[in-house]
A and B are shown apart, each in its own frame.
Chain A
Amino acid sequence: QKEVEQNSGPLSVPEGAIASLNCTYSDRGSQSFFWYRQYSGKSPELIMFIYSNGDKEDGRFTAQLNKASQYVSLLIRDSQPSDSATYLCAVNLGGGADGLTFGKGTHLIIQP
């Protein structure tokens, strides 16, 4: 049974601070990792993806992957009120089993 775990929150962060979102996954064979942002009533929007251990930066966003610990995180620097949303962690086993397994998401609130 593939599982992806996230703290549901809400996670409250002051504007301008760093928001840190965490995710653990159960399937050690997982190969690709994705972060999606979902505003209320909207569909998920891809933020970042990562497949190698270490950090990957894109603008204010940094994804971090540690396969040994089965842990992936998303850092949002200089948080803005528009970053307030639910952040979904998704994991892809790869090798043909390509349906994503999603966590239930962390609700992030950026306080002005």
Chain B
Amino acid sequence: GAGVSQSPSNKVTEKGKDVELRCDPISGHTALYWYRQSLGQGLEFLIYFQGNSAPDKSGLPSDRFSAERTGGSVSTLTIQRTQQEDSAVYLCASSLSTGGFNQPQHFGDGTRLSIL
């Protein structure tokens, strides 16, 4: 596809359940990022991957959150034992590479997660 693809687009689950969110980046983009946006809040950085490695995990809110990327492409963000405060839109972005300069990140449509 031409853009970043995320699935599912919506997820409703009960508190305490585990959820897995998927992101398929733009073809050729080696860097992949996860953010979340809570209602009325700004975008919060969670984690990024360069290839299959995650140099920066500093944004993960707790040890219930984990992410992996295999084959330098698709990434999954897993939230274990979900809590109501995990309800948010989870956004994935990709870019050509890390390194800062001139590597704009392009976002997918997000997964809207609702914890009952």
Contact = CB atoms under 8 A, between A and B. Distances in A.
Interface stretch (B12-20, B62-70, B75-83, B105-113): B105-113
B45 A101 contact: yes
B100 A93 contact: yes
Nearest to B43: A102
A32 B43 contact: no
Contacts of B99: 94-96, 98
Contacts of B58: 99
Interface residues of B, number: 31
B98 A98 contact: yes
Interface residues of A, number: 27
A97 B56 contact: yes
Contacts of A100: 33, 35, 43, 45, 105
A46 interface: yes
A88 B91 CA distance: 15
Nearest to A51: B101
Nearest to A97: B56
Contacts of B42: 88, 102-105
Nearest to A104: B42
Given A102-B43, A104-B41, A45 B107 contact: yes
A92 interface: yes
A31 interface: yes
A99 B100 contact: no
Nearest to A95: B100
B24 to A, nearest CB: 14
Nearest to B55: A96
B8 to A, nearest CB: 15
Q: Select the residue from B35, B105, B110 with max chain A CB neighbours within 10 A.
A: B105
A40 B99 CA distance: 31
Interface string A78-112: 00000000001010111111111111110000000
Given A98-B50, A99-B33, 11 more contacts: A34-B104, A34-B105, A43-B91, A43-B107, A44-B107, A94-B101, A95-B99, A96-B100, A98-B98, A99-B48, A104-B42
9 contacts: A43-B91, A43-B107, A43-B110, A88-B43, A95-B99, A100-B33, A100-B35, A100-B45, A101-B45
